[in-house]
Amino acid sequence: MWTRMRRASMVVSLQTAMLLVLVLVLVAMSMSCASRTVSVTRSEPLEPGSARAESSRPLGLDLYRPEPADNPTVPATVTLGRRLFHERLLSRDRSLACVDCHRPDRAFTDGRAKAVGVYGRRGPRSVPTIVNRAWGESFFWDGRIATLEAQVLQPIVAQLEMDLTIDEAVERLRETSPYPAAFRETFGRAVNGDDLARALAAYVRTIQSGGSPYDRYVWGEPAALSKDAQAGLELFRGRANCTACHVGPNLTDEEFHNTGVFWGGQPYDAGRVLVTNVPEDTGKFKTPTLREIERTAPYMHDGSIATLDEVVDFYDRGGNENPFRDRDLRPLRLTQEDKTALVAFLRSLTGTVTDGR
């Protein structure tokens, strides 16, 4: 009995010792975690749902901003990406940076009907705004690219845009301060194409528009919209059926539709069918966001419509009739008053554009 108790107490003390070791290990681990947390805090990550992320998200947008696991939207990457977005070395003749076509003073478009690349080369399509593309599900007017990381290298290699190979771009950056050091600091290695894409994509994710009169109205400030704009919103959601496609926080379903813009367009651009080869996709283009729409004229994938009044006239006649036209489009028979209201509503989508956070 006595020995059994002693043995029991020895077992207990052995357990206590093991517990002590375990506690020590845990403390050590949590200390190393703590030091890791400190270094993370220093670079201020925008964790989805963190206080900082919430406070920097303009009113009206989802608080959760998607990002790939291998490219978090951390300030170091964003800052490098922002610099690269302004870097003219990334074009063949060193004359053109992303920012020259996606101009912040025009809500990241260029004000032209069609893009103009190096040596004045004319592209076939209009420069879209790139606000809120963090929430994009596919990229380009025909959605041919699946991720932002893949998208951002395309304009560099496009002959009608910047016309440089990625190898040449990497070589130029390796020879130019501050890039070798900046890439090493941010990614822990020499300049390379994948990290170039990561930095540019991370920056593009931070380009946001929200906090417009429309958002304030929806979030409980009735006076934020004029009577006209309120009537326009009612039409937009109701009789004019715009929300069949322009829905959600970003006013797009991220789907492809044939509104007939391409019909008769020069040169002929068949849109989505070029990607899918499905005949029904002929003339379909991605529904664009309508945020900042007042600032991004001219409109449509080919820049063929100059003003918002003309866009509303276009929808009033049901778009351009063609064999593949979307079923959600039909003549609307809007009065002049209705049209004025719709345009007033579209103008209420001009908000605050932020980048870099």
* Integer Cα distance of 318 and 302 in angstroms: 18
Closer residue to ligand HEC (CB): 54 or 321 = 321
CA torsion, ordered 351, 250, 293, 118, to nearest 10 deg? 110
Q: 123 vs 180, which CB is nearer to ligand HEC?
A: 123
Q: How far apart are CA 99 and CA 270, in angstroms?
A: 28
Beta carbons of 349 and 291 less than 8 angstroms apart? yes
Stretch that binds ligand HEC, among 64-72, 135-143, 166-174, 219-227 (CB under 6 A): 135-143
State the Cα angle at 291 between 129 and 248, rounded to 5°. Answer: 115
251 vs 249: CA distance, rounded Å: 6
> For ligand HEC, which is the closer residue by CB, 46 or 289?
289
Contact pick of 61, 162, 164, 231 for ligand HEC (by CB under 6 A):
162
Number of chain residues interacting with ligand HEC (CB under 6 A):
51
User: What are the CA-CA distances from residue 151 to residues 135, 174, 207 (Å)?
Assistant: 14, 22, 15
Residue in 345, 349, 340, 350 with CA at minimum distance from that of residue 230 = 345
Q: Which of residues 81-110 bind ligand HEC (CB under 6 A)?
A: 85, 96, 98, 100-102
Q: Which of 107, 225, 231, 242 binds ligand HEC (CB under 6 A)?
A: 242
Q: Is 233 in the site for ligand HEC (CB under 6 A)?
A: no
Specify whether the CB–CB gap between 270 and 283 falls below 8 A: yes
Q: Which is nearer to ligand HEC, 20 or 187 (CB)?
A: 187
Residues 183-222 vs ligand HEC: string with x where CB under 6 A? -----------------x---x------------------
Tokens of 303: 């820049």
Give the list of residues 6+ apart from residue 17 with CB closer than 8 angstroms, or none: none
d(CA 8, CA 1): 10
Contact flag: residue 293 with ligand HEC (CB under 6 A)? yes
CB of 26 to ligand HEC, least distance (A): 45
Q: Minimal distance in Å, beta carbon 278 to ligand HEC?
A: 16
Give the x/- contact pattern for ligand HEC in 314-353, rule: CB under 6 A: -x----------x-xx------------x-----------
Burial of 318 (0-12, 13-18, 19+ CB in 10 A): middle
Token look-up 């925008």 returns 46
Rounded to a whole number of angstroms, the minimum distance from the CB of residue 176 to ligand HEC is 16
Task: Choose which of 61, 78, 134, 156 interacts with ligand HEC (CB under 6 A).
Answer: 156
Instruction: Please give the residues from 4 up to 33 whose contact with ligand HEC meets the rule CB under 6 A.
Output: none
Smallest gap from residue 180 Cβ to ligand HEC (A): 19
Both structure tokens of 62 = 């989802």
326 close to 332: Cβ distance less than 8 angstroms: no
Give the residues lining the site for ligand HEC (CB under 6 A). Answer: 85, 96, 98, 100-102, 115-117, 123, 125, 127-128, 130, 133, 136, 139-141, 151-152, 155-156, 161-162, 200, 204, 240-242, 244-246, 257, 259, 261, 285, 287-288, 290, 293, 296, 299-301, 311, 315, 326, 328-329, 342
